[in-house]
Amino acid sequence: MVREAFKEDLYELLNLYLFLHEKDIPEDTKHLQYTWNTIIEDKNHHIIVNEINGKIISSCVCVIIPNLTRNVRPYAFIENVVTNGLYRGKGYATECLDYAKEIAIKNNCYKMMLLTGAKEKGILDFYKKAGYNSTDKTAFIQWL
């Protein structure tokens, strides 16, 4: 079942992120709780999860960004697309991305975009199959 995350999903989500690029689950600090509360209460920040039998097995983040161009239409940014390694290749992340697209359409977004650090052909093909292309824009990143 695909849905938006609930406040109670924090630790299960943090465990899922170990399949992304995280090495550890962050300590349960006031900063972590503050950040989680800020995210979960932000109407433009959507953490989408896909669960099976009550276990979160895939997720992505969709942030709606207000914008003054394109007839004052917002755009959506997708981040942290991840699936538990035991469940990959079964369409769960695609279902999360489809849900994100529904959110973007409902919010009158004119585009959706995502960045990936992946170089593997299979992952890049996954994003292409999901409707994204790598030819319209060039991405630059400055790590801080």
Q: Residue 140 domain-assigned?
A: no
φ, ψ dihedrals at 112, nearest 5° = -125, 145
Q: Residue 136 domain-assigned?
A: no
User: 67: which DSSP letter?
Assistant: -
Q: Residue 137 domain-assigned?
A: no
Q: Residue 139 domain-assigned?
A: no
Structure pTM? 0.94
* Distance between CA atoms of residues 45 and 31, nearest Å: 18
Tokens for 100?
């994100």
CATH of the domain at 44: 3.40.630.30
Q: Is the pLDDT of residue 44 over 90?
A: yes
Taking only the tens place, the pLDDT of each residue in 60-92 is 999 999 999 999 999 999 999 999 999 999 999
- What pLDDT score was predicted for residue 41? 97
Q: Which residues pair with 64 in a beta bridge?
A: 76
Q: Residue 144 domain-assigned?
A: no
CA-nearest of 63, 45, 72, 40 to 113 is 63
Q: Into how many domains does the chain fold? A: 1
Average pLDDT, the chain: 96
Q: Residue 118 domain-assigned?
A: yes
Q: pLDDT category, 21, cuts 50, 70, 90?
A: confident
Domain range for 121 is 2-130
Percent of the chain with pLDDT over 90: 92
Q: Residue 78 domain-assigned?
A: yes
- What pLDDT score was predicted for residue 138? 86
Q: Residue 25 domain-assigned?
A: yes
Specify the residue for token string 């489809």: 98
Q: pLDDT category, 127, cuts 50, 70, 90?
A: very high
